[in-house]
Amino acid sequence: MSSTSDTDAIDEKKGEDTESNENFGKDIGKFLISLVIIIFCLILYFSSAGSVLYGCKVAQANILPTDEKCMPYENNTPNIQPIKINIFETMFKEPALSQKISFPYDKNSTNTILDMLRDYKQKPNTSNLTAYFISILESLFVFNFSSFNTFLNLLNQVPECMILMFGPLIMMFYTCIMLFVDFFYVIYLWFYQMSWFFSVNTNTSDTGKPKWQNSIAPSKLAMGCFLVIVFSIVFWLGLLLIPFIPFIPFLVVMVCIGTILSCKGEMNNNVVSVLSIIKDVFKYNKVTVSSVISFFVILCAFASLGSLPGLISIAVVGLIYFGMFSIDIFNSINEENMSKVVSYDQAKRTCKISKSAEIMNFFKNLNPFNGGGKKLTEEIKKLNKK
């Protein structure tokens, strides 16, 4: 009887050991899966942080299309002050040093979408409907480029380590705000730009730019009122039934962000892109990235494996940090091509309107719908001063 009970106890003990081993194997599997996911997310996060850092430098260069009177909206080329911009600045060192990056305007002057819109609106046979839609899109682009340019330039004043740690979260929050504001702005533009329905292109030739005039002919006024009614109905359909109205701000914001990240810069006599900066973020901020990853590895070990493996992971990280293991993940890399930190002021930008454009604006203001006598007097005074 005693022999039977001893055998049962042994079998029960073996069963518990087997179950314990299976549970530990499952815990190891969970730990490894969690570890892979965490490392992937952290790499993605620091990559996006490098993108935000790059956007901050683009904003300081002030090359984004923020002026509706200049390229790529009109044919006037802006004059942008070329400046050297700090990047990968040393911390806790005197004097402060940094590498330098610049963004020549001639390498970033083209914008496929805005260039296409400009070409369409400058065709001699452009209709008022085409001008209506283009004016909505261009106004949205100007607003969003200006907003991102101002925001990223302000963020550029923050220490670089803070941008890398919190930049993606701040940028995500700001983008959500922009999408919310853009939704109401596109509603405003949808109705405000309906004044185009009462304009007529008087250019009957196949050359030159369109010549717009406000028409008071009964037929044109009736057609304008009809288009106002039709597009008011289209607005509600696009807002409620086929929600393409909310999609417009999303598309514009994504194009603006894509434009910022597609800018080309010059650094150490080489052409660089956002991918080059992301690579250098991992290179020159290796200690920061390694420290964050190590912290989450230890946290994951405690959560998935328990206290003892968690303590072992802390010991291993400590041995690596103090050089007991020949792994140099906590050894910083000496940066090259360093020089004294320069100003963080944004580059100055001016846009000079051509004489022909000034004359066109003068005659445009002769129109009774455009300000009347007061506006005409102001324009004559401006021309007289010039």
What digits encode the pLDDT tens for the residues 344-362? 999 999 887 655 455 445 4
Q: What is the chain's mean pLDDT, rounded? A: 82
* Distance separating alpha carbons of residues 294 and 317, to the nearest angstrom: 7
> Are 164 and 51 within 8 A, CB to CB?
no
Residue 266 has a CB neighbour count (10 Å cut-off) of 15
Q: For strands 97-102 and 85-87, give the pairing.
A: antiparallel
Q: For tokens 């792994």, name the residue.
A: 327
> Are 335 and 96 within 8 A, CB to CB?
no
pTM: 0.81
Biggest CA pair distance of the chain: 121
Contacts 24+ apart (CB under 8 A), 19-24: none
Q: For strands 265-267 and 270-272, give the pairing.
A: antiparallel
- pLDDT of 101 reads 93
> Are 255 and 238 within 8 A, CB to CB?
no
- pLDDT of 201 reads 85
- pLDDT of 54 reads 96
* Tokens coding 226: 């009809």
| H helix and E strand count, the chain | 11, 9
- pLDDT of 206 reads 78
**Under-50 pLDDT residues of the chain:** 1, 14, 16-17, 356, 359-360, 362-376, 380, 383, 386
